[in-house]
Chain A
Amino acid sequence: MVVEKKKKTINRLKSMYPLRAKVNETYLKSIEAIQAGKPAVWGMLNFYYGDPILKAMDIEVVYPENYGAIAAATGVAQQYLDRADAEGFPTHLCGYSLTTLGYASRMMKELNGQIPPEAPFGGMPKPLFLMASAAICDARYKWFQALGRYMDVPVWPLEAPIPGIKEFSIEGYYDKMVKLGIKHLRDFVTFVEGMVGKKMDWDRLDKTANLMIEVNRVWHEVNELRKARPCPMHSRDFWSAMPAALFLAGDLEDSLRLYQDMYKEVKDRINSHVGTIPEEKYRLVFAELPPWHSLAFFDKLAERGWNFVIESVGYHPPIPIDLSEVSDPLERITKFSLQFLVGYYEDARKQNVLGGTTAYPYLKYAKEWKCDGALLHPLISCRSASTHLPYVSDMLMEKLKVPSLSIEGDIVDLRLFNPEDALAKAEPFEETMEYYRKMRKQEGFDW
């Protein structure tokens, strides 16, 4: 009997696949680097701050945070979570951190520094040092300190202070942040030079910084195209394609070409009026981090006509900023990274939305991408991706009459997410979205 393969509801972009493959490539390169006696580093997602420096010095970087998501998506996270549990780490800590602490424990205590054979994408090799970052997430120092104890390697913490929206309007604040950032990066360069025993190639850093900015500009433009109706690109494609820009995965010139290809494919879909799902009944914004272990959940929602047209602000590139007149690459890198943190602040202050870096953008998203609803995913093990969500929900309703559906879960631990239960809420939420669609019309909104 011939079994007909079920057609997937979400029409994935062809141009997404090579971008997704770049992540795999990054992990393999880090292993090759170690085998060839070259340095590899474990880095925390740092929002473009430390990465270009490592890239310009030919240091391969892998990201435990990203690896936690990969381990969850490939179904191997649970054994690392169990191992972290056995090590005595509280189960309510960040799921990414627990996964990689379990991984580090297995690698260092059980396998004498060898990569665990079950590790997906070839695994993360033992690093030369750890690059922590304080950007966005308050757990990151402690997580990397704990990893450092297993690895017995230095931990460099990248400082990334995030001002409040009101404080940011104090005269001179921005300039002081830039000065602090440049000084800190200069110290970091010195540290890295000492670790690898060679000097920074400043011309190369200059070129790397420019490429990083351009890659992210094109990626930003791709996402702007998603305002079209029907939306030509689903959040699943976004999550698959974003690591290449966010983590500067692989060769940046190659990434630039791939994002340009994606721009063209998305544009073609718009011109042909092709959406990413068969019938776009509802347009939704997703906040914040998805349940990596259960992404097929979004296919079920797509069958109901739910199109996720914008998402996860922390994974989006900064709003483009012209830095072509900035000659010092460290200053350019600092300003670009700051743009991620404060790029929405001026708009947010004008509208009196004081939720910091990650709250206001959802208001902009819902308004400009014309969303009917928001699916909020508060994480039981993550404060940074959860604490702003009630405020986001209130603001969306108060200012735009856009309702939210909140579904608790976790990024890694699938025991904390129940897709069936979540799907049971979809139907009544459609009634809610319909109701507020009428309310918006009555109040003069244009969607």
Chain B
Amino acid sequence: MYFAGVDIGSTMTKVVLMDKSDNLLSAIKGPTGPEHRQLANEVMRQALEQANLQIDVISYIVATGYGRLNVPFADRQITELSCHARGVSSLFPNVRTAIDIGGQDAKCMKIDNGRLTSFVMNDKCAAGTGRFLEVTAATLGIGLEDMGDISLKATKRIQISNLCTIFAQQEVVALLSRGEKLENILAGLHDALANRIAALARRLGIEPDLVLTGGVAKNTGMVKAMKESLGCELFVPEEPLLTGALGAGILAKETYLKAVAEGEALPTKSRRLEKATFFSEGQR
């Protein structure tokens, strides 16, 4: 008995396959790109290949994330907040607060026994998201993945006064032209982002254990800045990008097993791995 979770985020698409004992059989990530309707099948194909499974043996599939409605082979769609809450709890059973910083938004969640109890999101402005770092990395001509490590070498932390991503970009250019060191500027950028997200989390009320997920959690400089800004211990999963897909997979398993236990027939979608098109909905 196998289950799948598919998380189509704004930047990355993630798929996990698991068995009924929650053993992870495969986990695949790929860039979402502008045509995520055409990508879910491809990432799923890779995941199946890694697990050496065929699509028709997957008992139940849950899709989550912004593109969750565009996964034609998913049996059910569940919001990313619920899936993140479930996924994070499976890794950190004592989690009460989770912060997920993705490419397009930042979510702060309160969790009780794997259930989402409340949330706040920063979604009006790129300044509180991974996009803030992406834009500045491009401006500085460095890799996004290198930003955190470089920032850890800072000897002082430059204060970035602009919260707007575009104005912050201009400010960074001005600082560079003044001769400020790259690592000090990066440390300041991480502080600016961390302070903004910490304020959002405080609005919700922080309770330990606190877990940081999302692509930005892979950034060591950001983890340090978040710890300092929040003033508390922060746990980071080994693979922070996968918690949404993991939660989707667990919810797929729970949904399926509950239906079986109650003798309920659970409708499932066709297991054909095809690109979703705008015309495919009516055919399913």
Residues of A within 8 A of B (CB): 390, 403, 406, 408, 418, 421, 424-425, 427-429, 431-432, 435-436
Bound complex: CA A403 to CA B115 (Å): 15
A408 in contact with B82 given A431-B116, A432-B119, A435-B117 (CB within 8 Å): no
B112 at the interface (CB under 8 A from A): yes
Known contacts A421-B123, A435-B117: does B81 contact A428 (CB below 8 Å)? Answer: yes
Give, as a whole number of angstroms, the nearest-CB distance from B113 to chain A.
Answer: 10
Q: What residues on B are CB-neighbors of A424 within 8 Å?
A: 66, 79
Please judge, given known A-B contacts A390-B203, A435-B112, whether A428 and B124 are in contact too, CB under 8 Å: no
Q: Is the CB of A431 within 8 A of B112?
A: no
Residues of B within 8 A of A431 (CB): 79, 81-82, 115-116
Name B82's contact: one of A390, A421, A428, A436 (CB within 8 Å): A428
Chain B residues within an 8 Å CB radius of A421? 123
Within the assembled complex, what's the spacing in Å between the Cα atoms of A431 and B83? Answer: 12
Task: Using A390-B203, A424-B79, A427-B79 as known contacts, say yes or no to A432 and B120 having CB atoms under 8 A apart.
Answer: no
Given the complex, which residues of B lie within 8 Å of A418, measured CB to CB? 124
Nearest CB in chain A to that of B81: its residue: A428
Do B79 and A428 touch (CB < 8 A)?
yes
Q: Could you tell me the distance between the alpha carbons of A209 and B186 in the complex, rounded to whole angstroms?
A: 66
25 residue pairs of the A-B complex, CB under 8 angstroms, read: A390-B203, A403-B118, A406-B120, A408-B124, A418-B124, A421-B123, A424-B66, A424-B79, A425-B119, A425-B121, A427-B79, A427-B82, A428-B79, A428-B81, A428-B82, A431-B79, A431-B82, A431-B116, A432-B116, A432-B117, A432-B118, A435-B112, A435-B115, A435-B116, A435-B117
User: What 7 pairs across the A-B complex have the smallest Cβ distances?
Assistant: A428-B81, A428-B79, A427-B79, A435-B117, A431-B116, A432-B118, A403-B118
Find the B residue at minimum CB distance from A406. B120
Chain B interface residue number, banded = 10 to 19
Inter-chain contacts of B115 with A (CB < 8 A): 431, 435
Name the CB-closest residue of B to A435: B117
Question: Which of B48-96 touch A at CB < 8 Å?
Answer: 66, 79, 81-82
The distance in angstroms between the C-alpha atoms of A427 and B66, with both chains bound, is 13
Chain A CB within 10 Å — which of B112, B116, B118 has the most? B118
Question: In the assembled complex, how far is the CB of residue A379 from the closest CB belonging to chain B, in whole angstroms?
Answer: 13
B residues at A contact (CB < 8 Å): 66, 79, 81-82, 112, 115-121, 123-124, 203
- A428 with B116: CB separation less than 8 A: yes
CB distance from A230 to the nearest CB of B (A): 26
In the assembled complex, the CB of A21 is this many whole angstroms from the nearest CB of chain B, namely: 36
Tell me which residues across on chain A come within 8 A of B79, comparing CB atoms. Answer: 424, 427-428, 431
Chain B CB within 10 Å, residue with most, of A418, A424, A428, A436: A428
- In the bound assembly, the distance between CA atoms of A436 and B112 in angstroms comes to 11
Residues in A with CB closer than 8 Å to B116 are 428, 431-432, 435
- Name the B residues within 8 Å of A427 (CB-CB): 79, 82
Q: A403-B117, A424-B79 are in contact. List 20 more A-B contacts (CB 8 A).
A: A403-B118, A406-B120, A408-B124, A421-B123, A424-B66, A425-B121, A427-B79, A428-B81, A428-B82, A428-B116, A431-B82, A431-B116, A432-B116, A432-B117, A432-B118, A432-B119, A435-B112, A435-B115, A435-B116, A436-B117
Name the residue on B nearest A408 (C-beta).
Answer: B124
Taken together as a complex, chains A and B put the C-alpha atoms of A303 and B116 apart, in Å, by: 23
Instruction: List residues of chain B with CB within 8 A of the CB of A390.
Output: 203
A390 to B204, CA, bound (A): 10
| B110 nearest in chain A by CB position | A432
Report A-chain residues with C-beta under 8 Å of the C-beta of B82.
427-428, 431
Residues in A with CB closer than 8 Å to B119 are: 425, 428-429, 432
Inter-chain CA distance A431–B112, complex, in Å, is: 12
How far, in whole Å, are A421 and B122 apart by their CA atoms in the complex?
11
- Provide the bound-state CA to CA distance between A439 and B82, in Å: 18
State in angstroms the CA–CA spacing of A400 and B41 once bound together.
Answer: 46
B115, B120, B124, B203: residue with the most chain A Cβ atoms closer than 10 Å? B124
User: Contacts of B120 on A, CB cut-off 8 Å?
Assistant: 406
Report A-chain residues with C-beta under 8 Å of the C-beta of B66. Answer: 424
A432 to B121, CA, bound (A): 14
Q: How far is the CA of A432 from the CA of B82 in the complex (A)?
A: 10
B89 to chain A, nearest CB (A): 14
Q: How far in angstroms is the closest Cβ of chain B from A393? A: 9
Please, which residue of chain B has its CB at the minimum distance from the CB of A432? B118
Query: Which of chain B's residues have a CB closer than 8 A to the CB of A429?
Result: 119
Shortest distance from the beta carbon of A31 to any chain B beta carbon, whole Å: 39
Please give me the residue from chain A that is nearest to B105 by CB atom: A421
Instruction: Say how far A149's CB is from chain B's closest CB, in angstroms.
Output: 32
Smallest beta-carbon distance A431→chain B, Å:
5
Taking CB atoms, residues of chain B closer than 8 Å to A432 are 116-119
Using CB atoms, name the residue of chain B closest to A380. Answer: B124
What's the minimum C-beta distance from A377 to chain B, rounded to whole angstroms?
Answer: 13
Interchain CA distance A418-B115 in the complex, whole Å: 27
Q: What is the bound-complex CA distance between A60 and B117, given in angstroms?
A: 51
In the docked arrangement, what's the CA distance between A435 and B111, Å? 11
For A425, the chain B residues whose CB sits under 8 A away are 119, 121
Q: Which residues of chain A are near B121, meaning CB under 8 Å?
A: 425
Closest to A417 in B: B124
Residue of A nearest to B124 (CB): A408
Q: Which residues of B contact A406 (CB under 8 A)?
A: 120
Query: From A426, which residue of chain B is reached at the shortest CB distance?
Result: B79
- Expressed in whole angstroms, the Cα–Cα distance for A406 and B203 within the complex equals 11
A435: chain B residues at CB < 8 Å are: 112, 115-117
CB-nearest residue of chain A to B78: A427
B81 contacts across to A, CB distance below 8 A: 428, 431
B117 contact set on A, CB distance < 8 A: 403, 432, 435-436
Return A139 CB to nearest CB of chain B, in Å: 22
